[in-house]
Structure 1
Amino acid sequence: MADVRAVTAAELMERHRGLLRRDGTELALVDAREPTEFTRRHLLYAANLPLSHVGLEVAARIGRPGTSVVVCDDGGGEAAAAALELTVLGYTDTAVLDGGIDAWAAAGGELYSGINVPSKLFGELVEGHFGTPHVTAEELSGWLVDGRDLVVVDSRTRREFNRMSIPTGRSCPGGELVRRVHELVDDGTTVVVNCAGRTRSIMGAQSLRSAGLERVVALKDGTMGWELAGLQLEHGCDELVPEPGVGGRQQALAAAGAVAERCGVRTIDRDQLGVWLAESDRTTYFMDVRTPGDYAAGHLAGALCAPGGQLVQATDEYLVTRGARVVLADHDGIGATMSASWLIQMGWDAWVLEPDWLDEPGLVTGSNDDAEAARRSRQPPLPYDPEDAEVARAAMQAYLDWEVALPDQYARDDLVEFRFCS
């Protein structure tokens, strides 16, 4: 520890307050413990970067070596070791939290359990703020039996959808919803958005409602709620909501434009992006929010694959440096605008790259599957189908109860603030 600079909990709290004031500072808060320890209790904005993964992941997650980094643990020594490794890797402003997360709690700071907590908390607050309507599993089952005019869209990744899905459901990852759904509906159609649990259902449904579709509801508690209601999921499905035609795309462009105006989403051109990426004193994350397949077919050099709905629902995985800029790219600006609108409400300085780059020469092909695999390897699985059905049901209910309770912690935490668009 003698070779590593330390910051006190009080000092770290003051830096958090500076970020809330948007005073131009940046901070990457890293928890160097293994995922199982991290999920039990951690600081809200801490990104889990285990000591064992630092060398593999830090360049992608904290790209600017001059970033101010504070590393924490719970007294096991991982923070000091990780901070030393970061210093060796060229990170010039690295410190550890003196006394670890226990010192933070002793100073009055909140500790949270679970994964992707900032985004899940935000989703719960979105439901409360906008009054996003929902349908229960039992009600939806009745609608399906009655032949009601509805479409069920699953806002998770295609991989998750393939594993388990709601009957009649079609895959439409969250960042694609506004682009693709308009063409599926007429004036009498109800759109039901589901995920595994709660927040991607809420965020997907509210994205569509914010984009002007009124007959949209979230499936309460997602596939977990379906199973807890004693209903059967389907497995191995792979039906994808198709690309929109000209009419659907025009509707989506108009809807995204209205959202951009309400939420203050701004665009930049390639020249400005180049200037920002070259800056040594400010971090700019550059994310391609299209589907992994579109990204692999051709993307701009330096862009990381971060499908829009997953980015918004896992900001602590993709956007480690708070106070950084975020530039989002896609091929028509629709998904990028919707994702940026949510990031702005979460406190991020988010921008959209003007979508005129797809025909440029020199696009990079291939995926970042290795990075995505590393990200998933650190995440404890959601409580899906263990061998003991009763254990599975208890785990799913506990997970849902935990998520619903997050706003209670938010109400006690004076270091967190979200600002909703009208």
Structure 2
Amino acid sequence: MTASPTSGPTAPPDGFSTITPAELRRRWRASEEVALLDVREEGPYSLSHPFFAVSLPLSQIELRILDLIPRLSAPIVVYDDGEGYAARAVPRIRALGYSDVAVLEGGLAGYARVGEVFRDVNVPSKAFGELVEAIRHTPSLSADEAKALIERESDLVVLDARRFEEYRTMSIPRGVSVPGGELAFRAREIAPSPDTTIIVNCAGRTRSIIGTQSLINAGLRNKIYALRNGTIGWTLAGHKVERGNTARFLERPQASYTAALADAKAWAERVGVKVLDAATFARHRDEADTRTLYCLDVRTPEEYAAGHPAGFASAPGGQLVQATDEWVGVRGARLVLFDDDGVRARMTASWLTQMGWDAAIVGPDVVAPTEVEPRAPRRPPLPDIGAAAIDVAELVARAAGWTIVDLTRSPGYKSGHIPGAHFVLASRFAADLARLPGDGGLVLTSSDGAEATFALADARTATSRELRVLDGGTRAWTSAGHALEADRQSWISTPDDVYKRPYEGTDNAAEAMQAYIDWELQLVAQLANDSVSNFHVV
């Protein structure tokens, strides 16, 4: 069992229901519904957590939980590592209407005595990718081998399976952006000849493996390879990446569509993907109060914006497989995927089914993509803070009398904040508000003001200083024509709220990138030792 950097056993808070780690693991194995929430910040979460734990920091509960856990009666388990966050999280979650909330007995340390704990984020998806490669022997090329092919072969395409934003930041030569959920739908149109060599790349390993295997599963007869270790491996081999590329393939396939649909249907049927008719989908929706239901549109964000079914969230297929826990908080829930072509939803659902999810698909014959308004995150109504609100004009007029406290996630604060604002995490008010300079009043702000408004009650218990909340947050500040500053920061709280992913951006240390690859390569062994995944690779 992997050692856990825990602070020791956590006593169950008085008056709270608890669940043992053994019972939690039994539910996972039995495919029963349960959401396990790690209410620490994402940095500590990324160092050690149970396999199916979802990161939902205490300060983000009101902002994110209604989308992560749409059913108010779904079983929820929260834990921390002895910091006391779980005891604070339970009443906040219950106040939102959730009826079945328990604390994990013993916290992280208690869990580590009976189950594996894992590093990093999106672990179930990444572990599944490694299992796919181990079982299917997904073909791959080293960075040196891929570079040689790219330089000498004319009949070759490089398909970048990451999000377009990641591709634009950096890519390998000849790369074209085709996010993973689009590959089986579009690859034949890009490479119509079976003689064309296809290289699929991502940043690390998972999306390259899943993308390559998707094309193989979809019946393409080309030579298809994953770029082993992605752009990380490419960079570690000393090869240059390109920046700012914008090559995309967004045209709807025409000549190749019939073959793509036929092969997707054959593969999905082999895996056991369910295709819902209107009556069955209506029944699923009717049962959403007793069985958690996620409705997800797996097409591109551009297609989603042009029109999507009511009640469906945008979850591009490749990212949904790569980072399922960013959309789905309840293990054991139902997932219904939508597309308007019959290929993308089937291929995405085929992977989710192998990952142990109850995944089915619907098309426009069941739900019409008629909604064009963006689907805003579901949030509870903001509390009425009355006279505690302060507008931008009043703040500017009395700027010298206030100390500004910015609760925005640390990357946002670093990129630009109200001049003089101090970075503080709401979860650490008790210790960190006392470290602020001066003794005058405090103005809380956040990106749009919502997090600051929800945090006001906690701030009042942590300080006797006068407290106000900037109406509309930092966005209102810039909308009023005021500038932000980025060259000076004041880090009152340790900025460990966002894990620095070693596969994103261009400024990652070689040691961090190599350590990430080494970690991915041992996931299959750790997965086997944990035995709760219910994965089955076809």
Q: Report the TM-score, using the length of structure 1 for normalisation.
A: 0.92
Structure 1 residues 386, 289: closer, same or farther in 2, change over 3 A?
A: closer
Structure 1 residues 239, 87: closer, same or farther in 2, change over 3 A?
A: same
Residues 240-281 of structure 1 show CA distances to partners (whole Å, capped at 9, x for unaligned) of 024244221112111111111211111113443233123211
The structural deviation recorded for 1:331 is: 1.1
The structural deviation recorded for 1:363 is: 2.1
The correspondence for 1:58, drawn from 58, 65, 70, is 65
Structure 1 residues 385, 269: closer, same or farther in 2, change over 3 A?
A: closer
> How many pairs are equivalent?
409
The correspondence for 2:17, drawn from 5, 16, 28, is 5
Residues 100-132 of structure 1 show CA distances to partners (whole Å, capped at 9, x for unaligned) of 0100112x2110010000000000000011110
User: Comparing 95-104 with 1-10, which one deviates more in the overlay?
Assistant: 1-10
Measure the CA separation in 1 of the matches of 2:234 and 2:202. 11
Measure the CA separation in 1 of the matches of 2:340 and 2:306. 12
The correspondence for 1:401, drawn from 518, 524, 538, is 518
Measure the CA separation in 1 of the matches of 2:156 and 2:517. 26
Partner of 1:381: 500
The structural deviation recorded for 1:84 is: 1.5
User: Contact 1:193 / 1:217 at 8 angstroms: preserved in 2?
Assistant: yes
Measure the CA separation in 2 of the matches of 1:244 and 1:114. 36
Structure 1 residues 77, 405: closer, same or farther in 2, change over 3 A?
A: same
Partner of 2:119: 113
Q: Does 1:87 align with 2:94?
A: yes
Structure 1 residues 357, 272: closer, same or farther in 2, change over 3 A?
A: closer
Measure the CA separation in 1 of the matches of 2:377 and 2:82. 33
The structural deviation recorded for 1:413 is: 1.1
Measure the CA separation in 1 of the matches of 2:338 and 2:368. 14
Superposition pairs of residues 187-266 of structure 1, within 5 angstroms: 187-214=194-221, 215-266=223-274
User: Contact 2:185 / 2:253 at 8 angstroms: preserved in 1?
Assistant: no
Measure the CA separation in 2 of the matches of 1:265 and 1:355. 17
Partner of 2:74: 67
Query: Amino acid of the residue matched to residue 2 of structure 1?
Result: D
Query: Amino acid of the residue matched to residue 182 of structure 2?
Result: E
Residues 321-352 of structure 1 show CA distances to partners (whole Å, capped at 9, x for unaligned) of 11111000011121100000000000011000
Measure the CA separation in 2 of the matches of 1:256 and 1:173. 17
User: Contact 2:527 / 2:533 at 8 angstroms: preserved in 1?
Assistant: yes
Partner of 2:329: 320
Q: Does 1:166 align with 2:172?
A: yes
User: Contact 1:39 / 1:115 at 8 angstroms: preserved in 2?
Assistant: yes
Query: Amino acid of the residue matched to residue 229 of structure 2?
Result: D
SS in 1 for 2:256: helix
Partner of 1:416: 533
Partner of 1:283: 292
Structure 2 residues not aligned, in runs of 5+ = 1-12, 380-407, 413-496
Structure 1 residues 129, 144: closer, same or farther in 2, change over 3 A?
A: same
Q: Report the TM-score, using the length of structure 2 for normalisation.
A: 0.73
The structural deviation recorded for 1:8 is: 1.8
User: Comparing 188-197 with 263-272, which one deviates more in the overlay?
Assistant: 263-272
Structure 1 residues not aligned, in runs of 5+ = 20-24
Superposition pairs of residues 136-147 of structure 1, within 5 angstroms: 136-147=142-153
Higher helix share: 1
User: Contact 1:181 / 1:241 at 8 angstroms: preserved in 2?
Assistant: no
The correspondence for 1:41, drawn from 26, 39, 48, is 48
The correspondence for 1:103, drawn from 106, 110, 116, is 110
Partner of 1:340: 349
Partner of 1:22: none
SS in 2 for 1:71: strand
The structure with more radius of gyration: 2
User: Contact 1:331 / 1:358 at 8 angstroms: preserved in 2?
Assistant: no
Q: Does 1:132 align with 2:251?
A: no
Residues 284-342 of structure 1 show CA distances to partners (whole Å, capped at 9, x for unaligned) of 11000011111111111110110000001111211111111100001112110000000
* Identity across matched positions, percent: 45
User: Contact 2:299 / 2:317 at 8 angstroms: preserved in 1?
Assistant: yes
Partner of 2:6: none
User: Contact 2:67 / 2:377 at 8 angstroms: preserved in 1?
Assistant: no
Runs of 4 or more above 3 Å deviation: 357-360, 367-371, 376-379, 384-387
The structural deviation recorded for 1:222 is: 0.5
User: Comparing 97-106 with 409-418, which one deviates more in the overlay?
Assistant: 409-418
Structure 1 residues 379, 269: closer, same or farther in 2, change over 3 A?
A: farther
The structural deviation recorded for 1:358 is: 7.4
The structural deviation recorded for 1:42 is: 0.1
Residues 195-222 of structure 1 show CA distances to partners (whole Å, capped at 9, x for unaligned) of 0000000000000000011311100011
Query: Amino acid of the residue matched to residue 232 of structure 1?
Result: K
